[in-house]
Amino acid sequence: MSTVLLVFLLYLAGMVIVGIVTARLASKSLDDFILGGRKMWTPVIALSEKGTDMSAWLLIGLPGQAFKMGIGALWAGIGVWLGSLFNWLVIATPLRKLAGKYNALTLPDYFESRFNDTSHLLRITSSILIVFFFTLYVSAQVVGAGKILASTFQIPNVVGMLIGLSIILFYTMMGGFIAESWTDFFQGIIMVIALVLMCVVAIVTFGGLGNIVAQISAIDSKAVLMSAGESGTALYLGLILGGLAIGFGYAGQPHIVMRYMALQGTKEVKKAAIIAMTWTTFAVSAAILLGFFAIPLLRGEITDPEHVTLAFAARILPGWLVGFILAAATAAMMSTVDSQLLVATSAVTEDIYRKLINPAASQKYLVRLARIFTVVIAVIAFILGLSAEQAVYWLVLYAWGGLAASFGPPLIMSLLWRRTTRTGVFAGMITGAITIVVWYNIPVLKAFLYELIPGFVLSLVVTVLVSLVTKRSGGLVPPAE
């Protein structure tokens, strides 16, 4: 057995063990399965928030984009950093406070309670949007798993997809939020160590940062420019806005904001924010530099830029470390898929079945039902992944944009503006979702600007305008009051 395979199998075994150990803890109630009973250690929640945030995009998509376009990919990194900071400073504290007040387990739960929505309009709408976009999101991560394992072990993509998804399904079904948070914690540590390690080894291998930049410039002079060679003002502005716009999406990601809802209390927000932002700074910077540093070695040798992480590792690291990098890349995918599966499952089990169909269902039955829905959603995502032709980078951005435009403005306004109404939130959700789908599927619009920007702006405008002309439905005012 090769060293790479041995290290990778040890990693997978560790994830299975976590699922087994946490299974009993997550089986007591749906609250435990969905939010860990709001009793989890703050550093675990903080790194879980980052692990579930970054996904295969961090180890596959972002390095691939930097390898393809050069240091101009840094604009996307800046957008990610600012978006994450905004969430911790603006969203985390009021959302945790209100989630505790309403005993809300999910984002649809929060919206319905916040606006006293007895019609269940917000719960149903948000649940449908969550299941739709998260199924696409999970599909992108499954495609990422296929690429990781296929490029390392020379196996078909579909086999790699099956292996990765099977492990995730096991520990998510067994341990729910507790399992995925602890696995995210360890996976987050593995990811940042792997990325920083590869960058340090690359700098030493090439004889210093100056030598690397000189070699890259000789191969592709555009790669060393923040403009990525975009000469026109409009094109350069589009590059900057497209990268920064990724940050707009943070407030609308249910799998991220549920981490704030799971904190033990608002006093834990500051500690968690410091841990999360430190991790983000190192991880995102290293991911971009990794792809950038790989240009002298791999330009012209690999056809798919998203294979760059494993290909670069194989060129500069010994076998056992390549196995570690493979584990990190798989961790990036797993740490997001488990959370996405859990949020989508929660939308069906908690927000639709328990709240609207069978309120008298026992906790054990609900946990069993949640595990069944986890499998169903995973299978649908796998089938979609088989037909996916887009790169992981763009698949993730599409799903990210859909969630951002649907939930970002309504959530922000519901937390910060007392005039926000139920109708305004509903209109914002629908406007954001429709804009993303339409913009993405019209080539001339997609080529002009990342769909998240118009989707987010229109959702915000509609949420505000409709709220101004409709009457509040009796929901409580934000905690700041």
Contact indicator for 475, 425 with CB cutoff of 8 Å: no
pLDDT of residue 333: 65
Q: How far apart are CA 30 and CA 26, in angstroms?
A: 8
Q: How far apart are CA 29 and CA 294, in angstroms?
A: 48
Residue with tokens 């088989």: 386
Token duo for residue 217:
């410039």
pLDDT of residue 476: 46
Q: How far apart are CA 313 and CA 325, in angstroms?
A: 7
CA 476 vs CA 98, 119, 417, 418, 472: distances in Å: 9, 17, 11, 9, 10
Residue with tokens 């749906």: 30
Q: What's the average model confidence in pLDDT over 366-391? A: 76
CATH superfamily, with its number, for domain 3-469? Sodium/glucose cotransporter (1.20.1730.10)
How does residue 275 score in pLDDT terms, banded at 50, 70 and 90? very high
Is the pLDDT higher at 481 or at 228? Answer: 228
* CA-wise closest residue to 174 among 466, 357, 370: 370
* pLDDT mean across residues, the chain: 82
Q: How far apart are CA 425 and CA 304, in angstroms?
A: 41
* CA-wise closest residue to 177 among 354, 37, 273, 352: 37
Q: What's the average model confidence in pLDDT over 403-415? A: 94
pLDDT of residue 190: 82
Reported as a single tens digit per residue, the pLDDT across 285-325 is 999 999 999 999 888 888 788 788 888 888 888 877 777 77
Mark out the alpha helices in 206-293 (DSSP H runs): 209-219, 233-245, 254-262, 269-293
User: For the ranges 11-15, 278-282, 388-392, which has the lowest average pLDDT?
Assistant: 388-392
Reported as a single tens digit per residue, the pLDDT across 335-359 is 567 677 777 887 888 788 888 888 8
Contact indicator for 224, 288 with CB cutoff of 8 Å: no
Distance spanning both ends of the chain, measured CA to CA: 63
* Highest mean pLDDT pick, 136-150, 341-355, 380-394: 341-355
Residue 348 per-residue DSSP state: I
Residue 284 per-residue DSSP state: H
| DSSP characters over 167-210 | HHHHHHHHHHHHHHHHHHHHHHHHHHHHHHHHHHHHHHHTTSHH
pLDDT of residue 159: 83
Contact indicator for 191, 58 with CB cutoff of 8 Å: yes
User: For the ranges 43-52, 131-140, 448-457, which has the lowest average pLDDT?
Assistant: 131-140
pLDDT of residue 30: 57
| DSSP characters over 451-464 | THHHHHHHHHHHHH
Reported as a single tens digit per residue, the pLDDT across 205-259 is 888 888 989 998 888 888 888 776 666 666 667 677 777 777 878 888 888 888 8
Reported as a single tens digit per residue, the pLDDT across 21-68 is 765 555 555 555 666 556 778 998 898 888 777 766 788 788 988 998
Taking the model in full, what pTM does it have?
Answer: 0.80
Q: What's the average model confidence in pLDDT over 166-192? A: 72
pLDDT of residue 479: 46
Residue 36 per-residue DSSP state: G
Instruction: For 266-420, list the strands marked E by DSSP.
Output: none
pLDDT of residue 467: 95
pLDDT of residue 36: 58
SS3 content of the chain, % helix, strand, coil (to 5): 85, 0, 15
* CA-wise closest residue to 18 among 189, 172, 188, 190: 172
Contact indicator for 105, 367 with CB cutoff of 8 Å: no
Sequence ranges of the domains in the chain: 3-469
Q: Is 303 exposed, middle or buried (0-12, 13-18, 19+ CB in 10 A)?
A: exposed
Q: How many residues does the chain have?
A: 481
User: For the ranges 11-20, 116-125, 279-288, which has the lowest average pLDDT?
Assistant: 11-20
Contact indicator for 262, 414 with CB cutoff of 8 Å: no
Report percent pLDDT > 90 for the chain.
28
Three-state SS at 294: coil
